[in-house]
Amino acid sequence: MSTQPIPFGRSAHGKRDSQVSSSSSSVQLPRTLARPEFIEVSPTAIAAAAPELVNVPLGYIRRRLWSEAPQMMAGLSSLAPSHVPSSLPRSHLPPSLSIPLRAPLSPVTPTYPTHVLAVSSSKSSHDTQAIMVPVHSLVLAAQCARLPELRTPNAPVSHTLHLPVIPMSIPSPAAFTILRSFMYDHRLDQVLEALFPIPPSFLANLSHSGIRATMSSGQALHQLSLYLCEASGQNLQTLTTYTARVKGLWQDMVALGLFDTELWDTLDLAWDIVLGAMNLAVVMRQ
C-alpha cells in the first residue's frame, strides 16, 4: 500500500493550483487541495500500540492490518450499541467506558478495539459534543503520522471491554467517521459515496487505477459533475454543503497526517467533481 503523496502544490492529475469561481465572483475556491509535506508514522507510536511489533517493517504491519481487517470489523460490531454513546459533552468525558460484548454477528473471530476516541471540533472553543468512536490503536498508529501515542491497555477481555476514552480535536468530526472506515477497509467507493451523490455504475468495482483514469479524462469528469449538479437540483446551497464536506475531509487528512496516495487521489477527484458541478449550476442558472 503506497503512502507517498504527490508533492505539495500539484494535484494527482497534474493541474497547478489556481482559483475558480463558485456561486458568485466574490466566492473563490482553490483549484486543488494542497498536499502537505510527507512525514512517516512514528515508530514509538507503533511500539505503544503493539510492543511486539517493535522493529517490524512498516510495510509488513500495514499488510497484516489489511489481512486482519475482517476480524477488527467483527470486534467493532461486537460492542453492545446501547452502551456506546454516540456523543458526550466534551467537558464531561469519562476516563473510560465499560462496554458489554454481544454475540458475534459473523463467524469471524473478533479482534476487539482498544480505545474510544472522543472526537470534537478544533474550530470551536465552546462546550460542544464529542463523537464517541471505538478504534484499534494500531490501525491509527500505522496510518496517521500526526497522532499522539495510543498505548494499548493490558486489561483482560471477558464479557465486558474497558476502553480508555481519548479526547481528540480535529477540524471535522463528521469527516473523521469517513476516514475511520477507510483506515479499516480501504474502500474508495465508500469514501466518494459518503461525500455526495455519485452514479452507482461508477462506484461498481472502483479501483485506484479507475480513479486515476477518470481524473485524466475531461469527458468523464464532466459527466460526473453534471450528474452531481442534476442530483442537487442545481441548488448552489446544496453543492456548497458538499464542497464543505470534501474540504472537511481534506482538513482532517492534513491534521491526522494521513498520507495514503489512493485516498489523496480520491479526494482530488471529489474536489474536481464538486467544483465542476458548482460551475455548471452557475451556468445553468444564468
What is the model's pLDDT at position 23?
A: 42
Handedness of CA 134, 138, 143, 147 (dihedral sign): positive
Q: Report the percent of the chain where pLDDT is more than 90.
A: 75
Return left, alpha or beta for 36; rule: phi > 0 is left, psi -120 to 50 is alpha, else beta: beta
What is the model's pLDDT at position 18?
A: 38
pLDDT digits (tens, 9 = 90+) for 224-264: 999 999 999 999 999 999 999 999 999 999 999 999 999 99
What are the residue ranges in the chain where pLDDT is below 50? 1-26
> Would you state the cell numbers that stand for residue 258, as one nine-digit string?
494521513
> Would you state the cell numbers that stand for residue 10, as one nine-digit string?
500539484
What is the model's pLDDT at position 108?
A: 86
Q: If 0-12 CB within 10 Å is exposed, 13-18 middle and 19+ buried, where does residue 248 land?
A: buried
Residues of the chain by 3-state class (helix, strand, coil), percent to 5: 45, 15, 40
How many Å apart are CA 271 and CA 215, to the nearest integer? 11
What is the model's pLDDT at position 220?
A: 97
